[in-house]
Amino acid sequence: MSCKTNGDGMKIHFGLLNGGNKYLTAESFGFKVNASGTSMKKKQIWTMEQEAEDGGAVFFKSHLGRYLAADRNGNISCDAEERDDGDCRFVVQAQADGKWAIQSQTHGRYLGGSEDRLSCFAQSMGPGELWSVHLAMHPQVNLFHVGRKRYAQLLEDELAVNADVPWGVTSLVTLDFHERRYLLKTSDNRLLLGDGSLVREPSSEALFTLEFVGGKVAFRDCQGRFLSAVGPRGSVKSSKAVGKAGKNEVFELQESRPQVVLRASNGRNVSTKQSTELSANQDEETEHETFQMEMEQDSQRFAFRTFSGKYWVLGPGGIQASVSQPNKDSWFDMEWHGRQVALKAPNGKYVAPRKNGQLAAQGDIAGEVEKFVLKIINRPLLVLRGEYGFMGVRKGSPALDGNRSSHDVFQLHFADGAYTIQDGAGVVGSWMIKVL
């Protein structure tokens, strides 16, 4: 699992899949473009830049940082370094079934074709000019409602927009690509329907078309209505059909970062319940004992954020949760020792509880007192993605593949510092989960 510290919103990356189940591909050699990719890897991933949230041109950028273009004769290229060329301007026309028709704004023709026979010369859209959108980002997200400026969370039998902070397992939403549209799966493995109810089995009523609105998204149900936040509780359900998604129908996809509980060597959980000073003195697992881990990519060190938005910081008297942004004294190295972890503070010393439970960084070695059990609490459902793609169970075999373009969803069970990972057919195995 990965987390980044720069910004809350996510730049949306995706693949475009044609009617022949092949992905639009930007080749590294000669900036050639084709539709021959059989799975979504680096060359099949695109980023859409939008001129304005209320419409206008869109631009498709490849993994090489070049822009897709179509000239007046319908020839396709992808070597433009700047997007101001009129040939780079496209208009996306979303269809009721979730597919896109991509039209050159300058020349009025549609992008289509297969294999090496791509062109943007069709005067009208047909089956060959329709593309499905497959998100390339990690599918486990937090949903931020733009209008209400709140996060969606699971409340008993509904998904509601009423959380100020996306905290704990209830704020986790998994976007599942299914039949070229999307299922919205809650943390307890239920699926959202357009009427706001939650069910266990997928159906047409649980499938939503994804539409981009200025780097954000809207979800249109099978009846053409957009998901919105309705009523005083902010219930997530479809509202009246509208031609374009407005502020009340738009959501921002934000990265769901790992949130953990740390049990110290004294058998107590680290907490901020009594003050800003961090102490291992609690047995419960509430928001005060839960910390969000945010990784600095270059150094591979971690900052720990509290529910109140404060970060851990090394002070003269011990570890405190007292700064609003991570500073040089907020980044901790994490070492794995079997089923436990040790945290090395910015002063080079290991963190451990004193006799009164307060955390201090004074240890020269990672002994038993300096070790913690780390429990991830917001991943009961787990999607694994590596360098080459998503991980999934091979059909008819207990083996795992690590190069899938679509993901399997595993269930995660914690016991004594280790996890059992289970798929739909049974137990896959016991693993040590390292947060990266």
Tokens found for residue 147? 């209008």
pLDDT of residue 416: 78
* DSSP alpha helix (H) spans, 55-164: none
pLDDT of residue 282: 97
Alpha-carbon span 426 to 420, nearest angstrom: 10
Look over the chain and give the mean of its residue pLDDT values, rounded to a whole number. Answer: 90
Answer whether residue 430 shows pLDDT above 60. Answer: no
Mean of pLDDT values over 349-355 = 97
247: three-class secondary structure by DSSP: helix
Complete edge-to-edge strand list for the sheet that includes strand 418-423: 381-382, 410-415, 418-423, 426-431
Alpha-carbon span 284 to 417, nearest angstrom: 17
pLDDT of residue 411: 86
Answer whether residue 425 shows pLDDT above 90. Answer: no
The answer to whether the beta carbons of residues 58 and 91 sit under 8 Å apart is: yes
CB within 8 Å of 411: residues ≥ 6 apart: 189, 380, 381, 382, 421, 422, 423
What are the DSSP E strand ranges found in 214-345?
Answer: 216-220, 227-230, 235-238, 251-255, 259-263, 269-271, 279-282, 291-296, 301-305, 311-315, 318-323, 333-337, 340-344
Q: Which of 43, 121, 108 is nearest to 78 (CA)?
A: 43
Query: Of the given ranges (98-102, 268-272, 321-325, 385-389), which has the lowest mean pLDDT?
Result: 385-389
pLDDT of residue 236: 98
Higher pLDDT, 337 or 401: 337
For 67-94, the pLDDT digits (tens) are 999 999 999 999 999 987 789 999 999 8
Buried b (16+ CB within 10 A) or exposed e, 161-184: bbbebbbbbbbbbbbbbeebbbbb
Tokens found for residue 373? 């059990």
Alpha-carbon span 102 to 430, nearest angstrom: 46
pLDDT of residue 103: 97
User: How many secondary structure helices (H) and strands (E) does the chain include?
Assistant: 0, 43
pLDDT tier for residue 7 given thresholds of 50, 70 and 90: very low
Higher pLDDT, 242 or 1: 242
Higher pLDDT, 215 or 122: 122
DSSP label at 394?
P
With residues binned 3-state (H G I as helix, E B as strand, rest as coil), the percentages for the chain, rounded to 5, are 5, 50, 45
Higher pLDDT, 5 or 298: 298
pLDDT of residue 136: 86
Query: What structural domains does the chain harbor?
Result: 13-135 (2.80.10.50), 140-255 (2.80.10.50), 259-375 (2.80.10.50), 381-431 (2.80.10.50)
pLDDT tier for residue 6 given thresholds of 50, 70 and 90: very low
Higher pLDDT, 382 or 360: 360
What φ, ψ does residue 383 adopt, rounded to 5°?
-115, 125
pLDDT tier for residue 61 given thresholds of 50, 70 and 90: very high
The answer to whether the beta carbons of residues 423 and 408 sit under 8 Å apart is: yes
pLDDT of residue 332: 98
* DSSP per-residue string spanning 141-189: EEEEETTTTEEEEEETTEEEEEESS--SGGG-EEEEEETTEEEEE-TTS
Single-letter amino acid code for the residue at 303 = A
Residue with tokens 């266990």: 200
Single-letter amino acid code for the residue at 323 = V
- Distance from the Cα of residue 421 to its chain's centroid: 20
pLDDT of residue 314: 97
pLDDT of residue 1: 33
Kindly report the number of other CB atoms within 10 A of residue 2's CB atom: 12
Alpha-carbon span 106 to 425, nearest angstrom: 51
Mean of pLDDT values over 397-417 = 80
Alpha-carbon span 138 to 132, nearest angstrom: 18
Higher pLDDT, 263 or 414: 263
Query: Of the given ranges (95-109, 351-365, 412-426), which has the lowest mean pLDDT?
Result: 412-426
The answer to whether the beta carbons of residues 198 and 157 sit under 8 Å apart is: yes
Answer whether residue 55 shows pLDDT above 70. Answer: no
For 122-144, the pLDDT digits (tens) are 999 999 999 999 988 889 999 99
Answer whether residue 8 shows pLDDT above 60. Answer: no
Counting every residue written for the chain, the total comes to 436
